[in-house]
Amino acid sequence: MNANTPALTLALWQCPYAGNTAEALSRLDTTAAQARAQGAELLVCPEMSLTGYQIGAASVAALAEPADGALAQAVATIAQRHRIAIVYGYPEHNAQGKPYNAVQFIGADGEHLANYRKTHLFGDIDRGQFSPGPQAPAVFEWNGWRLGLLVCYDIEFPEPARGLALQDADAILVPTANMVDFDEVQRVLLPARALENRVFVAYANACGREGDTTYGGLSMVCTPMGEVEAPAGREAELLLVTINPAALEHARRSAQWLDRRTDLYAPGSD
């Protein structure tokens, strides 16, 4: 990031899951138009936003597609139509086993800029439906910003966020489906991840019910100083937040990075 990098307005779409992919794409089209009309440049959707999350292994496998499949092409068309970048979740086909729980970033011009597969699987829900991603998250550049993608449970571990920070990430985008009983993630862990790594963390959660599960909402953006920007409530909401490079510059003046004892952090260190 440089001094000329513009501020970035994010829209976090906190929503219940649709009944099928056609409905999900129709709702995405409407929401992308609304977000762009309100000044957003990037729309971040929940985990597995195009298919539903807890839909069972057979349904996940049946709906799984490659990263450039029909769902991706439909999202690219929506992004181009409304001139807004989109981060969305979907099941990615895996020839070696169960599909991946994946998220993809598509630019406002329809270009596929980044694809990430969830590396930390949550309980029987994830392990029954997905294979763990085999690669650590990587930073990519867009509109002068260095961005990273994580999925839900990933942000609850220090290492993925720190790995992105060490790649000079400015913001971490986290589609998620966190349940109502785990508010400590939003209350404690998200501000901590943002503060300890001096990055923005944008967390777009699902809400409402899916089967027997209630999702907790509380989508938010945390600043590099761990402050929470206008958190959402429990219900469906389109949350707009503008993040500014000046906040990064200010926060990084007091970052602890220069004092890290990397000689002590290797596995097996005494």
pLDDT digits (tens, 9 = 90+) for 7-21: 999 999 999 999 999
Report the catalytic residues: 47, 118, 152
pLDDT digits (tens, 9 = 90+) for 67-126: 999 999 999 999 999 999 999 999 999 999 999 999 999 999 999 999 999 999 999 999
Of 51 and 2, the structure prediction assigns the larger pLDDT to 51
Q: Give the rounded percent of residues in the chain with a pLDDT score beyond 90.
A: 92
Residues in the chain: 270
Whole-model pTM above 0.75? Answer: yes
- The closest of 222, 162, 193 to 10, measured between CA atoms, is 222
Q: Give the rounded percent of residues in the chain with a pLDDT score beyond 70.
A: 98
Give the pLDDT score at 143: 96
What confidence tier does 45 reach under pLDDT thresholds 50, 70, 90?
A: very high
Give the pLDDT score at 244: 96
Question: Is 253 buried (19+), middle (13-18) or exposed (0-12) by CB count in 10 A?
Answer: exposed
The secondary structure element, H or E, covering residue 76 is helix 70-82
C-alpha distances in Å from residue 122, one per residue of 30, 116, 171, 250, 261: 31, 16, 23, 35, 31
Contact (Cβ atoms closer than 8 angstroms) between residue 221 and residue 203: yes
CATH topology for 8-255 is: Nitrilase/N-carbamoyl-D-aminoacid amidohydrolase (3.60.110)
**Domain edges within the chain:** 8-255
Mean pLDDT over 171-176 rounds to 98
Give the pLDDT score at 269: 46
Q: Interior CA angle at 43 toward 42 and 44, to 5°?
A: 120
